[in-house]
Amino acid sequence: MANPARILTQRDCTAMAALDTMPHLAQRVRNLLSHGRRITVATRLTHVDIPPEVTAGLTVDQDARDGGITETVREHSHHFGVLLRPGLTSGFGFGAFASDGYRTESEARKLFHAAESISSDPFARRENLTEVRISGGLPGDGPSTTDKLIVRRWNSAGVCKETVVVFDAGPSEGEYRAARWLYGNTLGPAHVGDRLEAWDRGKAADADVELWSARAAELMAEVAAEPR
């Protein structure tokens, strides 16, 4: 669990934000954001039983500083942030700070397991810890409908804020589904299952995704132009 390099090989990965894991986590999130998809962000405080705040239809604010993706690396800290639009408070981010009492994931994980996520005893709660769960975004991966990012941050008072980030299939759900079907069925029934799984897990070649997405867009346009 404590080998940070696993973050670049495990598609579904859980890691503590620490100085030795932040470079890999930042790379994974950059990969998730590289496909131009719309984003939905849900946030909640885990200790209260109320619905999360959900904001859909977001995109990376490329007009903001650093194109909307900021990363600050210093000797004793590493922070990664994403600025989204529309809205002034729609972004998300996470970081690691040596001042929190740990530098490595191993040290952070020990503190994580030594305390409780929710407790009536403030001295028993987790403090100044961040857990990141990520699906997708491996090097070389394409977009997948199962891509997801979950960040849970316990502050100095032991209160946990959970942020869930998910991604739309693409600019057109109909076109996406058509492209997936065309890709899955192009080699015949014997290959459908494997090809659909490759598409869903982002393992289809970029050239194939581009080809069948273009074909799907043409097909949808022709269907829309048919007289009714």
- Indicate the residue among 150, 167, 184 that finishes a domain: 167
- Indicate the residue among 167, 185, 204 that finishes a domain: 167
Q: Are residues 81 and 132 in the same domain?
A: yes
Domain span including residue 188: 173-225
Q: Are residues 159 and 126 in the same domain?
A: yes
| pLDDT value of residue 105 | 96
Number of domains in the chain: 2
- Which stretch of 22-26, 64-68, 92-96, 217-221 has the lowest confidence by average pLDDT? 217-221
Q: Are residues 47 and 145 in the same domain?
A: yes
Q: Are residues 85 and 192 in the same domain?
A: no
Q: Are residues 40 and 19 in the same domain?
A: yes
Q: Are residues 31 and 128 in the same domain?
A: yes
| pLDDT value of residue 57 | 84
Q: Are residues 139 and 44 in the same domain?
A: yes
Number of helices and strands in the chain (H, E): 5, 10
| pLDDT value of residue 168 | 83
Q: Are residues 28 and 131 in the same domain?
A: yes
| pLDDT value of residue 89 | 67
Q: Are residues 107 and 184 in the same domain?
A: no
Residues 17-56: b if buried by 16+ CB within 10 A, e if exposed: bbbbbbbbbbbbbebbbebebbbebbbbeeeeeeeeeeee
Span 166-189, mean pLDDT? 82
Q: Are residues 18 and 106 in the same domain?
A: yes
Residue range 86-144, pLDDT digits in tens? 866 679 999 999 999 899 999 999 999 988 877 778 778 899 999 999 999 999 888 88
Q: What is the pTM of this model?
A: 0.75
Q: Are residues 79 and 110 in the same domain?
A: yes
| pLDDT value of residue 7 | 96
Q: Are residues 163 and 177 in the same domain?
A: no
Average pLDDT for the chain: 89
Phi-psi region of 111 (alpha: psi -120 to 50; beta: other; left: phi over 0): alpha
Residue range 40-80, pLDDT digits in tens? 999 999 988 888 999 988 989 988 889 999 999 999 999 99
